[in-house]
A and B are shown apart, each in its own frame.
Chain A
Amino acid sequence: MILKTLLTGVAAAALLAGAASAGSITVVSWGGAYTKSQVEAYHKPWIAKTGNQVVSEDYNGGMAEVKSQVEAGNVTWDLVDVEMADAVRGCDEGLLEEIDSSILPAGADGTPAMQDFIDGTVTDCAVATIVWSTIFAYDNSVLANGPTTIGDFFDLAKFPGKRGMRKNPKANLEMALAADGVAAADIYTVLGTPEGVDRAFAKLDTLKGSVVWWEAGAQPPQLLADGEVVMTTAYNGRIFNAVAAEDKPFTIVWDAQNFDLDLWVIPKGAPNKDLALDFVAFSTATEQLAAQASYISYGPVRKSSAPLVGSFHNKPDLEMGPQMPTAPENFATAIQSDFVFWADNQDELNERFNAWLAK
C-alpha cells in the first residue's frame, strides 16, 4: 500500500514537472482563414518562444459552449476569441475570468499599454486583438458595373438576383436603416425606437424572398463563388482572403460597413489560466498584432501596430493598409456596432427576427 502511494506520488510529480516545462493550452477561434492568421502570427511564435503547445479548436461564436462548460464545472477551453457583445455579456454573467490589464506589455515604441490600445478595446474580462467589419461584396466577373452603395444592395430592380445575409438581426438591421437613408451616427438612436425597428424590418421585407441566409463566416465567399448569390454580406477578411489567396474576382463595398472587435476571453476555471494569460500578453504585443495583419485584412487594435503593417505575407506588392476597415477611404460611412444596444435589445430583436424569418 505504502509502495503504491509512493509510486502514485512519484508519477504525479513527474507529470507536474512535465506540465511545467511544456504545458498546453486550448485556444478556440472562428476557423478558416482567420484562425490561420492567428496560428501564423500568435501560436507559432509563442510555441517557439515558450516551448508550450497550442491546441486550436473552431467554433461559430456565442457564449453557449463557455456557459455549459462553466456550469458543468468541466472547463476544457483556456482561451476563446469572441465578439464584443459576448465578452460583455459573459463577463456580466460571471462566465469569464477577469484579466488584469497590467500584464499587457507596453507598445514597441514605449507607449504604456493602456494608451496604446484604442479606447474601449480592453475591458474587465477581455483584451481585443482586431477590428473587423461586416461589409457586402459582389462578384465583379458577373456584375461589371457593380453596386457602390448600401442602397444598391437593397435595390432588386437595379441589381436583380439573390442576396446572402447573416442569419442574425445584428448588422442587417443597421444596414437596412442605412439603406433607408439614416446617417451612420443616428442608426442606434433610430433603432432604439419601435418605429425605427419597424422601419428596418420594412426595409428587410423588400429583400425577403431573395435572401440566402448564412451562419458560418466561411459560407459567404462560397455562396458568391458558386453563383448562388450575386452579392452577400460577409466579414471583410474572408472576402479579402478569397481575393488575395484564391484569386477570386470579388469586390468589397465599404459603404455602411459595421465594425466590431474580436477579443480574447478566458472561461472561468480554465485549466491553464496562467499559460492563457501569458499567451494573451504575448499575442497582443505590437509585433504580433502587426504580423497578423499581413495574413488577413483585420485592423490591429494597438496604435503602435499600424506603422508596422506591411504587405500580404506572400504577395509583397499587395499593401495591407488600404484593405483595413479602418483605412480612411473605407471608413467614411462606417457604423460602430453598439454592444450596449445589442446587449439590451438582442433578446427582443432576435425573437422578432426569428418570427419575421419564419413567416
Chain B
Amino acid sequence: MTDTTGPLVAADGTPLKRKLAQAMFRSRARAFGLVFPLVAFVIAAFIIPIVALLWQSVHDPRFANLMPLTTIELAKWDAVSPPTEAMAAAVVADMIVAKKNKTIGRVATRVNREVSGARSLFTKSGRSAATLEAPFMEALIAKDKKWENIKIWEGMKIASKVYNPGYLASALDMRYTADGSIVRQEEDRRIHIMLFARTMEISLIVTIACFVLGYPIAYLLSTLTTRTSNLLLILVLLPFWTSLLVRTTAWIAMLQAQGVMNDLFVVFGIATDTDRFSLIYNKTGTLIAMTHILLPFMILPLYSVMKTIPVSYVRAAKSMGATNWTAFWRVYFPQSVPGIGAGALLVFILAIGYYITPALVGGQDGQMISNIIDFHMRKSLNWNLAAALGLVLLVFVMFLFWLYDRLVGIDNMKLG
C-alpha cells in the first residue's frame, strides 16, 4: 500500500514537491531581491514616518513621563471630589524634579492646551516648588490661588492619559473631559467639521469645473491632426510645467482689486472704478486658481483615452440614423468614461489636500483643512492635533476611494 501511494520522487530521491519548492524559492528570492530596494525605500521613507506621525494623534506620553508620581495619583482621582493632599504632594515632588531637569516648560505647555493659564502657573510654581512644605495643598494655594481651581486638576488628569482620545475628539469639534466622556466643543470654538465640509465643497466644485472646461479641450485635441494637436498640447503642458507658486502669484496679479481683470471690467463698464469685484483673497480666488492649476490633470487622462476611441464608431452610429447628440451620448461618451474617472479622481484627491494656493489666495473663507493642519504643525506646535486632523482626512479619503470603487469601479479607470 505505502509503496504505491508514496510521494513522487525526483531522480535523486528527494520528493518532487520539495524539489519544486526549492526551484520556486530561488526564482521568488530573485524577484524579491529585485524589488527589495524599492520596498525598503517606501517603508523607510513613507510608511514608517506616516505611521509614526499618525500615532501621535492618540499617543501622548509627555505628561506621564515628566510627572510620573502625579500621573499615578491622578489615576486614582475621580475628577469630581476635591483634589487630595496626596495629589498635591505628588505635584510638588514632580515639579522639583522637572524644574531641575528643565522640563517644567514642557509640562506647562501640555496642560495649557487643556486649561489656558496653566502655563504660567506651572513655570511660576516650579520655581518655588523646592521651598514648599507640607501640607502641600495649602502651600500651593498660598503660592497661587489658581491651584484651588478644580479645572487645573482636571486639565492635568486629561493630560496624564498616555493613550488620549482628546486630539481625535478635538479634530471632530468635540472635547474629551476629565471624567472620560466626550462632549461637543463650545460653539465659538467649533471649526474643523465646517472646514472638512468646505474642503469637500471646494474640491467638488473644482473637479466639476475642470471636467466642464477640460472635456471639450481634450475632445478637440484628440480629433485634430497630430500637427495641430501637438501644438495645442504644448499650450496645455506649458502651464503644467510652470511652478505652482508662479501660477498662483500670477493669479493674484490678474484678479486683485487693481489687477488686470478688474481693470478690464472697469473699461467695459461691468464694474465702476470705486466698486470693483473681490475676486481674490476669498473662496472665488481659491476656486479660480485651483481650477486653472488642476486642469491639466483632467485634460491629460481624458485626451489619452479619447485618442484610443476609433472615429469610425461615431460614423457608424450616424450612418445608422443617430443624430449628432445620440451618437455622442450613446456611443462616444461611454467610451470616454474611463478617462473621466481617472481625471476626476486625480483632480479631486489632489484638490482635497491642496494647501499652498488656498493659503496664498484664500483669504478667510477660502481656507481648507490643510491650512489648519499647517497652522498646527508650524505655528501652534500642536503636532498631536495636526496628526489627528491628518488621520481624519486620510480615513475620509479612503472612504471616498472605497465608495468610488463600489459605484464606478476602480478597474474602470484609465490613465492612458
Contacts and interface: CB of A to CB of B under 8 A. Distances in A.
A354 B258 CA distance: 28
A348 to B, nearest CB: 4
B120 A347 contact: no
Given A344-B112, A345-B117, A351-B189, A358 B365 contact: yes
Interface stretch (B157-165, B205-213, B377-385): B377-385
Contact of A354 (B119, B375, B381): B375
Given A93-B106, A354-B375, A344 B116 contact: yes
A94 interface: yes
Nearest to A60: B378
The prevalent SS among residues of A at the interface is: helix
A358 B198 CA distance: 10
B190 A355 contact: yes
A347 B113 contact: yes
B281 A345 contact: no
B284 to A, nearest CB: 14
B105 A93 contact: yes
A355 B364 contact: no
Contact of B258 (A65, A227, A357): A227
Nearest to B117: A344
Contacts of A3: none
B112 A347 contact: yes
Contacts of A356: 188
Interface residues of A, number: 34
Given A92-B109, A93-B105, A357 B119 contact: no
A44 interface: no
Nearest to A198: B188
Instruction: Name the residue in B106, B109, B257, B258 with the highest tally of chain A Cβ atoms < 10 Å from its Cβ.
Output: B257
A64 B117 CA distance: 22
Interface string A209-246: 00111000000000000111000000000000000000
Contact of A213 (B104, B364, B382): B364
Interface in B49-105: 102-105
A254 B367 CA distance: 32
A208 B103 CA distance: 40
A64 B377 contact: yes
Contact of A352 (B103, B106, B120, B188): B188
A19 to B, nearest CB: 30
B194 interface: yes
A350 B105 contact: no
B125 interface: no
13 contacts: A64-B378, A92-B105, A93-B105, A93-B109, A94-B103, A94-B105, A211-B364, A227-B257, A343-B120, A344-B119, A346-B380, A350-B379, A354-B191
Given A92-B119, A94-B106, A226-B258, 8 more contacts: A64-B379, A91-B105, A92-B108, A344-B118, A348-B116, A350-B375, A354-B372, A358-B194
Q: What 8 A-B pairs come out closest when comparing CB atoms? A: A92-B105, A355-B191, A64-B378, A348-B116, A227-B258, A93-B105, A344-B117, A357-B364
